[in-house]
Structure 1
Amino acid sequence: MNAADHEIPSYTDASAWRGTTILAVRKNGKLVLAGDGQVSIGPTVMKGNAKKVRRLAGGRVIAGFAGSTADAFALFERLEAKLEQYPSQLTRACVDLAKDWRTDKYMRRLDAMLIVADAESTFLLTGAGDVLEPEDGIVAVGSGGNYALSAARAIFEYEDDPEQIALKSMAIAAKICVYTNDNLTVEIIGS
C-alpha cells in the first residue's frame, strides 16, 4: 500500500462520493429537497438518522449537502451570512458564496457540495466555483445522486407531485447505493 491509498477523497471528484444522497425536485410550483440519513466512514455505517437537509433564512431557503459534515455546516453558516447580506436574492448569495469558496484560502479546502433552493430557484454549488441551475428542475448529489437523479427523470413525466417523485427516487437510490439509506429528511417549499 502506498501513501495515495490513504488519502481522503475529494468531493469535487464524483467517483469519490460515498456517503449520502440529496435530491431536489421542482414541479408545479412546489420544490422538494430530500436527503437520506446515513453517515458512513469507509465500509462502516456510523449513523443512520443524520439530518443533511436544513432550512435557512427564516425557512425561505432549503439546503442539503453531500460531503464533510463540518465543512458543510461551515458553508451553511457562510450562506446564511450571504442571505442576510442579500435578502431575497438567492442567486446573488450563491454566486458570492461560490466565489469566496473558490478563492478564499481557508474555504478552498472545504469538501462538500450543496443543493440550495427557494420558491423560485434551485442551485448546485461546488468548491470549484460552480453555481449550476438544473434545466429540468431536478438535481442530485452524493454517492446515490446519479441513481436518484435517473429515477426522478424517469418518473417526472408520469407523476405530478414532486414529493412523490422525490420519495420514489430516493427509495430506488437506497436500494442500489450501499452508502444511502431510506431514513429521509424531506423539506418542501410551495404547495
Structure 2
Amino acid sequence: MTTVVSVRSGGKVVVAGDGQVSLGQTVIKHSARKVRKLAGGTVLTGFAGATADAFTLSERLEAKLEQYPGQLMRACVELAKDWRTDRYLRRLEAMMIVADASETLILTGTGDVLSPEDGIAAIGSGGNYALAAARALTDSGKDAEEMARRAMAIAADICVYTNSDFTIESLEAAR
C-alpha cells in the first residue's frame, strides 16, 4: 500500500511517492524510497505494491531501457509483454508510473501501458485521492512539484496507508 503521483506541467515532470511500508495493519517503515531515477537520470519511476516485486520490475525496466535507449514507450510495452506472459513475472503484484521528458505511463501486471491525457497519473492505495487533488490543482498556478507535493499531502491526510515522508524526483520536460 502506498501512493505515487506524477504531474507534468510548466516544462517539468515530477514523480512523488510516500515512504510508508505497511504489513497488514502495522507500519514497518516510514521512510522507504519508492521513487527513483533510471537510465542515467533520464527516466523517473515510482512503484506501488509488494516491495520485492517492485524491485524486480524496476530491474527489468532498466534492462529494457538499455535495450531500447531513448524509447520509453517501446521499453515499457516490452516489459508489459514479459510481465503478462512470463510465468514468474505474472505473479508479481505491483504497479509502476514511468516518466521521461516527453511521456508519462502507468504499467500494470495485466499488460496495460496507459498514457494519461492530462499528464497526471497516480497509483496505489491513495492514488485516487492524489489524482483528484492534482487534477483540481491544475489551474492553481502552482508548478508541477508544488502540485505533486500538495496532492500527496491530501492523499496522506485521507489514506491510512500513505504517510507524509515524500520522495520527489523531477526532470525538465520536452517542450
- Give the TM-score, by structure 2 length: 0.97
SS of the aligned residue for 2:48 comes to strand
1:107 matches 2:89: yes
Given that 1:38 and 1:50 are in contact with CA atoms closer than 8 Å, whether structure 2 keeps it comes out as yes
Q: Could you give the per-residue CA deviations for residues 71-124 of structure 1, whole angstroms, max 9, x where no partner exists?
A: 010001110110000000000000000011001111100100000000000000
Deviation of the 1:157 alpha carbon: 1.2
Please tell me whether residue 137 in structure 1 is matched to residue 137 in structure 2. Answer: no
Aligned to 1:10: none
Of residues 30, 39, 61, the one that matches 1:48 is: 30
Pair 1:176-2:162 in alignment: no
Rounded Cα–Cα distance in structure 2 between residues aligned with 1:27 and 1:126: 24
Matched, 1:27 2:9: yes
Could you list the structure 1 runs, at least 4 aligned residues long, displaced by more than 4 angstroms after superposition: none
Match of 2:53, as an amino acid?
Answer: D
Contiguous gaps of at least 5 residues in structure 2: none
1:36 is aligned to 2:31: no
* Aligned counterpart in structure 2 of residue 98 of structure 1, from 77, 80, 94: 80
Between the aligned partners of 2:34 and 2:71, the Cα distance in structure 1 is: 23
Once residues 146 and 102 of structure 1 are traced to their aligned partners in structure 2, the CA distance between those partners, rounded to angstroms, is 24
Paired AA for residue 52 in structure 1 = K
Calculate percent identity across the aligned residue pairs: 66
What are the superposed Cα offsets for residues 132-171 of structure 1, whole Å, 9 maximum, x if unpaired?
A: 0000110000110000000001111112401110011101
AA aligned opposite 1:128: T
Number of aligned residue pairs: give it.
173
1:3 match: none
C-alpha separation in 1, matches of 2:15 and 2:80? 20
Please list, as runs of the form range in 1=range in 2, the aligned pairs for 1:64-79 lying within 5 A after superposition.
Answer: 64-79=46-61
1:117 aligned partner? 99
CA RMSD of aligned residues (A): 0.8
So what's the TM-score if we normalise by structure 1?
A: 0.89
State the secondary structure of the residue aligned to 1:164: helix
Q: What secondary structure is seen at the aligned counterpart in 1 of 2:168?
A: strand
Report if the CA contact (8 A) 1:28-1:160 is conserved. no
Structure number, greater radius of gyration: 1
Kindly indicate whether residue 146 of structure 2 is the aligned counterpart of residue 158 of structure 1. Answer: no
In the alignment, residue 131 of structure 1 is paired with which amino acid? V
Deviation, 1:38, is 0.3
